[in-house]
Amino acid sequence: MAVAGSAVGLGNFLRFPGLAAQYGGGAFMLAYAISFLIIGLPIGWAEWAMGRYAGSRGYNSCPGAFAAILNKRWAKYVGIIGVIVPVVIYMYYVFIESWCLGYAVKFWSGGVHLTSADQAVDMFKAMSGQSADGAALTFSWDAALPWLLIVFVFNFWLIYRGLSGGIEKMCNYGMPLLIVLALVVLARVMTLGAPDPAKPHDNVVNGLGYMWNPSKVQIERTQPAPGEKALVQELVGAAAIADAEKQIAASGGTLKLVTITPWQQLKNPLLWMAAAAQIFFSLSVGFGVIIVYASYLRKKDDVVLSGLTASSANEFCEVALGGLITVPAAVAFLGLASVAGQGTFGLGFTVLPLVFAKMPLGAFFGGAFFFMLFLAAITSSISMLQPGIAFLEEVMNVGRKVSVTILGLLTTLGTVFVVYFTSSLKALDTLDFWVGTFLIFILATIQIIVFGWHWGIERGFKEAHQGASIRIPAFFGVIMKWICPVFLLVIFTLTVLTSLFGFDLSTFSFGSASSYVLDLIGGVKDGTPVPTNQAAQLSVALVLIVFFFFGLLSARSKAYKRAEQGLPKHD
Amino acid sequence: MTTSGLIVMLISVGIVVSLFSWCIWKVLTTPNETEKIHGVDFHTPDMDADS
């Protein structure tokens, strides 16, 4: 239960359905399943094996592990990514965690009375402080600040006091509770049918269809005006399509029915990047977390089955629970239009509260759902602190309490930064992209290359199989050596070129860059000048400052000098 | 929901439920396996060293 509990987090119940809704369902699921098989499982096993090896040499941090495995001076600087990622993600993860706690208490205390989408948006804006920078720092029970203080102090209290037994008990009891709660909510959602008889198309079956149908059917304008989108409406279900055909026949040729096959959708590199990033986020692969926890294991421990069990528990919660609850419920109560194109936060914190508000016993189910999210999040956020703690212990040669104190100060500053720049959640969004997607992708790629090419598959498997009751199937050797790194490099290159810098593969010319780039350097988008964004620039500066600080500490570390020379940390 | 959507859903859910169930079965039926498998074990050795 502890294995499963620590693996399950916000990614399962919030990020996954949000991305599936954003990228249109079934095709995303195909990319997701392939990503799980060729990157999630293999890189997870690689991290477990490399972490345990580093631990056997006395190194418990990601930079230490890289230095111990590669025996190169530069290796520790690459390994710093494995400290930056969890520490920076923690800075905004606790903010989201506080929304979950706030929403759970609000539902259970009967404080949610939503009747329109605007009210749901306003409730989320008040909680997240999106109206203006600094708005989230107002002390009100409708805002995040009091919940954030509770969550932040609770996290560090647990980790500072070393209450591991308490956390493990929380996993042992919390995980079954979480699954039971999810199953109760799932049973309620599956029996919703069509809640509004006046809108028979808005039903659970169509919600499942939106989530899982591989092909998309939509109404498009035949000749959209400049600046107008071609897409008018997405459709699911035979009855909705029949109605749409009548609407198109009456439109006089201005509208058309378009079917987008899964193969057409799978040509979008951003969809693959999103699917891969979700696998990383969900399984904590490429985070620098697994490598640290694996470093505390012994040779007789089973890292192969450990990795598989943690991954399968995660996938169970994500696909069998998260994939069947959120989107179908939202479609049933609010219709397809309210769900289509919604991101993680839109779906989780505006659409779902409205769904619960409209549901019989909604206060109970809403509170249960958000409390379940909070439980899932807390073990994940605590696990994100250990890479930073282990790193500071190693480079500064200090004990755990000093290390926790320093990391507490650092993450407090970072979280205050994220919580201050809440206008359009710019700081959170920027950090989530550049660290929570971009850097994770880079670290995971480096890890699998180190495992498959520096160690080689034979040695890698030998390390992984020590103490294991099952063996990694032989075909994963080909996946880990060739398919996984090539896949990651191709997706990464295509995404950077096409989505970040607007490169058009058909004309071989550059168009408008992504907002993530324009926020940093400014530019022109669709003929309109786009100024730089101070919050986004400061967010990237924050990451660079932390990187510089960690780099400075690493450069002076005596432990890492021994690792570079191929020596264990202690004689 | 189309037939292909139903198939994708049943296969996806079926695979993850089977995989998770198999892992639980394997852990519970292999001697001493519960002591050998680990997730994120919150009790790390540095806690003992510092106490």
Angle, CA of A18, A19 and A22, to the nearest 5°: 90
**pLDDT confidence of B51, banded at 50, 70, 90?**
low
Determine contact: B10 vs chain A, CB below 8 A: no
The count of other CB atoms within 10 Å of the CB of residue A136 is 28
Q: What is the pLDDT of residue A77?
A: 96
pLDDT per position as a tens digit, A109-130: 988 888 887 888 899 999 999 8
The whole-chain average pLDDT of chain A stands at 88
Give A30 to chain B, closest Cα distance, Å. 8
> What Cα–Cα distance (Å) separates residue A294 from each residue in A15, A55, A559?
26, 7, 19
> What Cα–Cα distance (Å) separates residue A338 from each residue in A192, A207, A236, A330, A444?
17, 11, 14, 8, 35
**pLDDT confidence of A290, banded at 50, 70, 90?**
very high
**pLDDT reading at A27 higher than 80:** yes
**pLDDT confidence of A377, banded at 50, 70, 90?**
confident
* Chain A residues lying within 8 Å of B19, measured CB to CB: 308, 312, 315-316
Q: What is the pLDDT of residue A523?
A: 85
CA A105 – CA A540 distance, rounded (Å): 34
Q: What is the pLDDT of residue A120?
A: 87
Q: What is the pLDDT of residue B1?
A: 84
Top-confidence residue, A6 or A194: A194
Q: What is the pLDDT of residue A2?
A: 57
Structure tokens given for A526 = 């669709």
> What Cα–Cα distance (Å) separates residue A383 from each residue in A20, A86, A387, B39?
26, 9, 8, 10
**pLDDT reading at A541 higher than 70:** yes
Q: What is the pLDDT of residue A265?
A: 87
Q: What is the pLDDT of residue A181?
A: 78
pLDDT per position as a tens digit, A195-204: 788 888 888 8
Determine contact: B43 vs chain A, CB below 8 A: yes
Give burial (CB, 10 Å; 0-12/13-18/19+) of A193: exposed
What is the interface pTM, i.e. ipTM, of the complex? 0.93
Mean pLDDT of the region A504-526: 83
The count of other CB atoms within 10 Å of the CB of residue A495 is 24
**pLDDT reading at A234 higher than 70:** yes
Q: Are B39 and A3 an interchain contact pair (Cβ–Cβ within 8 Å)?
A: yes
Q: Report which residue type is found at A320.
A: A
Residues 6 or more apart in contact with residue A441 via CB below 8 angstroms: A273, A276, A277, A280, A286, A488, A492
Structure tokens given for B47 = 């806690």
Report the run of H or E that residue A85 belongs to, with start and end. helix A81-108
Tokens 């329109």, residue located: A116
pLDDT per position as a tens digit, B14-40: 999 999 999 999 999 999 998 888 877
Determine contact: A47 vs chain B, CB below 8 A: no
CA A315 – CA A317 distance, rounded (Å): 5
**pLDDT confidence of B50, banded at 50, 70, 90?**
low
Determine contact: A386 vs chain B, CB below 8 A: yes
